[in-house]
Amino acid sequence: MTTALLTDHYELTMVQAALDAGTANRRSLFDLFTRRLPEGRRYGVVAGLGRALDAIDAFRFGDAELGFLLERGIIRENLADWLSDFRFTGDIWGYPEGEVYFPGSPVLSVEGTFAEACILETVLLSIYNHDSAIAAAGSRMTAMAGERSCAEMGSRRAGEWAAVAAARAAYITGFASTSNLEAGRTYGIPTIGTAAHSFTLLHDTEEEAFSAQIDSLGEDTTLLVDTYDVEAAIRKGIELTGGRLGAIRLDSGDLAIMARQARDLLDDLGATHTRIMVTSDLDEWQIALLQGAPVDGYGVGTSLVTGSGHPTCGFVYKLVARASSDEPDAALISVGKRSKGKNTLGGRKFAMRRRGEDGRAESEVIGLGAPPANDGNDRDLLIPIVTGGERVYSATLEDARRRHIDSLAELPLAARRISKGDPALETLILDETGTLTTNPYQAAPVVTNI
């Protein structure tokens, strides 16, 4: 399946006009970044890079795509010729998946000809804006869950393919599993699930349903116990398994109270190893509220896959430097628009997390045109991802999970608070001489840009 048409019309008309004007091959550098975090959020989480690289690999214009574009008059023959053997040949570097980011962090930089870097804009932004929004929410949830296990169960509340990506992003932030089978197949994420209310209702009695489930799935299964009467259901489940039932799931009512009552009942019945899983409208605040309840695992749906109030990030993709002329070896010059409230910091960026001697992160440092000085405690953030068109980034999802744990661990403790607050780190912009300059994003309004 090609990703080439997951692209805004204007990317191609721009490339058409640049091709006609002879400027399409000017070396260009685009940054993908956000001017600010969603209101009250203390950090962002990079997710989507692995998928973005797959999307670049699949960014191919076949006869069907070119035929459509020509027929609609969106491109002409000279652009069709160019697109017909399109393959990104430039360089990409950026933050690895799982890394945290802040306003102005250059999470992805794409350098190539204007044409090849420009036409990737839409699909890169779609993937980053979606996946990182889920990751930001997921990270807050796993932080509140602590040692308890979180399962992603939101597929039914998200577009059917977005759901697969959401499961992947949630996994990066420490979710243990997903309900989504395609995410299991495509990304190797553990999948879980046993039964819904419909299974109980299909049978003449709850006992028949439970027996059928236990016979088929084993005593270690999870029984959903709130179809009729929770206490009666728990007693039945324990009776049918001789106390060896794996878990119960509570999906309605006041979960803190119900979990307490269920735990007491299970313990009274001798089922001290039967776990309690809760679902139903969980978000990071609900998970926090349930910290004192005897819950073993959380199943999270809607709130996770919709970014817990922020279903998209504010990532934009901006031309920040380009060749000063059409000569092949022309030097890059910084560029940036001056639109009201949406100005862009031009130039090539370097990024570093400044850390104290104790390893604690102190600020996000962006160097313009030159790397900021690293005193040995600091950590460089940019890694090569694509070099000369070849993918060099090979981190696995497990790597991303570790990266997330590590980068979160070095942030100030306040970063993990779910109440509204400022970004956990200030972003400092240094010019080529290492001098602090104004950060245009820190106080900018949230903007949409198309």
Within 315-354, the residues that bind a copy of itself by CB under 8 A are 317-319, 322, 335-342
Quick check: 420 binds a copy of itself (CB under 8 A)? no
First-to-last C-alpha distance (Å) of the chain: 26
Inter-residue long-range contacts of 275-278, CB under 8 Å, 24+ positions, other chains counted:
275/222, 275/246, 275/247, 275/248, 276/247, 276/248, 276/250, 277/151, 277/222, 277/247, 277/248, 277/249, 277/250, 278/249, 278/250, 278/251
The β-bridge partners of 297 are: 149, 277
Nearest to 26 by CA among 308, 282, 323: 323
Task: Give me 400's structure tokens.
Answer: 């991303």
3-state SS assignment for residue 28: strand
3-state SS assignment for residue 321: strand
Nearer to a copy of itself, 150 or 165 (CB): 165
- Binding to a copy of itself (CB under 8 A) within 126-145 occurs at 126-127, 129-131
Binding segment toward a copy of itself, per CB under 8 A, in 189-197, 266-274, 289-297, 423-431: 189-197
Give the amino acid at 249.
R
Q: Which of 195, 223, 238, 382 forms a contact with a copy of itself (CB under 8 A)?
A: 195
Residues in contact with 276: Cβ distance below 8 Å, sequence separation at least 6, in sequence order: 247, 248, 250, 259, 262, 263, 266, 294, 295, 296, 297
Quick check: 241 binds a copy of itself (CB under 8 A)? no
- The number of angstroms, rounded, from the C-alpha of 427 to the middle of its chain's C-alpha atoms is 21
- Binding to a copy of itself (CB under 8 A) within 89-118 occurs at 114, 118
The site map against a copy of itself for 257-296 (x = CB under 8 A) is ----------------------xxxx--------------
179-181-187-190 Cα dihedral, nearest 10 degrees: 50
Quick check: 153 binds a copy of itself (CB under 8 A)? yes
Place of tokens 């989507």: 48
Binding segment toward a copy of itself, per CB under 8 A, in 14-22, 82-90, 140-148, 416-424: 14-22
| Helix (H) / strand (E) containing 368 | strand 361-368
The site map against a copy of itself for 42-81 (x = CB under 8 A) is -------------x--------xx--xx--x-x-------
Quick check: 16 binds a copy of itself (CB under 8 A)? yes
Distance CA 28, CA 128 (A): 21
The β-bridge partners of 94 are: 108, 383
Nearer to a copy of itself, 17 or 405 (CB): 17
Nearer to a copy of itself, 223 or 430 (CB): 223
Binding segment toward a copy of itself, per CB under 8 A, in 39-47, 90-98, 164-172, 411-419: 164-172
| Least distance to a copy of itself, CB of residue 305, Å | 8
Quick check: 311 binds a copy of itself (CB under 8 A)? yes
Quick check: 226 binds a copy of itself (CB under 8 A)? yes
Quick check: 207 binds a copy of itself (CB under 8 A)? no
| Least distance to a copy of itself, CB of residue 272, Å | 25
207, 228, 234, 236 from 225: Cα distances, Å? 11, 8, 6, 9
Quick check: 160 binds a copy of itself (CB under 8 A)? yes
- Binding to a copy of itself (CB under 8 A) within 357-416 occurs at none
Nearer to a copy of itself, 6 or 370 (CB): 6
Quick check: 306 binds a copy of itself (CB under 8 A)? yes
Binding segment toward a copy of itself, per CB under 8 A, in 140-148, 208-216, 367-375, 433-441: 208-216
Binding-site size for a copy of itself (CB under 8 A) equals: 115
3-state SS assignment for residue 152: strand
Quick check: 196 binds a copy of itself (CB under 8 A)? yes
Q: Which of 141, 165, 345, 381 forms a contact with a copy of itself (CB under 8 A)?
A: 165
